[in-house]
Structure 1
């Protein structure tokens, strides 16, 4: 849609969902009337928009509001009543500073996905439970925010954050960690993995600078395919507390394939796997490349 001028929005409008979605030529946003409650995808795909409008205090919904606004340089103040910020700034690659996140926000899935210029993360409200892909592709982000204790899902949270140097503490209630730190090339030390985590597919895949892995893989883990693939600098001992039965599906498939493929390949590196189930370690070692220095450790059961 070719809209270049900023049109006037009538008073009394309550919903502006998708109002300017796909207006690639829109350079200036209109004034948003007081009383508007929903702004889901309002400016999604407005690739020429450089400045956001003031958001009225009445707004509650901001899902995907500025999705794909790749020219947007500054975020607006977010009203205190907003609850859902899923994909709000997804693809805003020129955005350098995040806004303050209101205390009532619960959903932050993909909020800053592919915000390539974002250098500092905002504080995450205590009530947030979902952080899938929150900062995925934020390649300029060096420091992770504190993760609230109520968060349960962290799939892809920091995936491809190539400048991230330090991982945050993972809350005890987190269950899903698929690709959480995949492609974090600058990360040197892994966080500890909480006892209830089930999914660890590709959690640290491609973390080439990772020297120290987590001390253990909990007994709750059911999927550990590609978990440490290409962690070339990694060394030390990891306690594998889960079992082959836990990572077996359909009676014949195993979700531990290539777990340590191309890991510990650099000179002086060695990963020792202590275990409660020798059969699982044997299965893992089947897929280890000849260049990797990954060895069976001691029984700890």
Structure 2
């Protein structure tokens, strides 16, 4: 059983941009809806349960939407509030649960292949530790969830994905659907909301309203920062140096040597010397204290000359030979 709410609008012959003729009023539309509902029928797919004819029931509550909130009947504000209530209501408010019941590995099938059962749910298709009979729901909701779960195991209903959506009673669509030719889109609603919030904020701060011909001039600047906003941007701009594998490496006296470092700067900070020498910070400071690596200071900053780095590398080569 499906409980369905629909907002039906009558447009002109050329689409939503054209108004209907004068003789096509809301009274005509109210009389046409029951005729259309009785004429719609859908035949279910063939299965072991047979084929069923699906149709709308006899309970039709048709109410015109009035643009005047003072008029007698259903106003547009009442309809908006009614839709907002369903838009903000969670699944648990209607007696179901707010999370999926199906196993994440097999998606409720209970098998990973034709011959292999799912090792996570052990063939049940449920999340480990879940049991349909132990769900904290009403008995009515439990029967509907059980029906979705049993029908989802049938191959003819596999495309409906009833088991992954059994917690939603088989419904996997958006809470609100409308015709693609409808004049009001969700993008229009978001744009109108953003414009309303912008105008509201400008009124609160005493700023003049903006229009298409307005030129906004900023007379106040504030320092926001320098450098990269994300570490990933810094890594892409400054990739780590790769080891030299060029053919210039040669043997001299039985020892593999490499060309001396070509320095583009005369002084390096400690963190930069760490990258050049592939040493940790504590080792760098220990070499400075022991005198094996020369350094200078500029104010409170300790700097290492490029020549000191070359001298330390030469010292290591002499010790190795």
Higher Rg: 2
- State TM-score, norm by structure 1: 0.17
- TM-score in terms of structure 2 length: 0.16
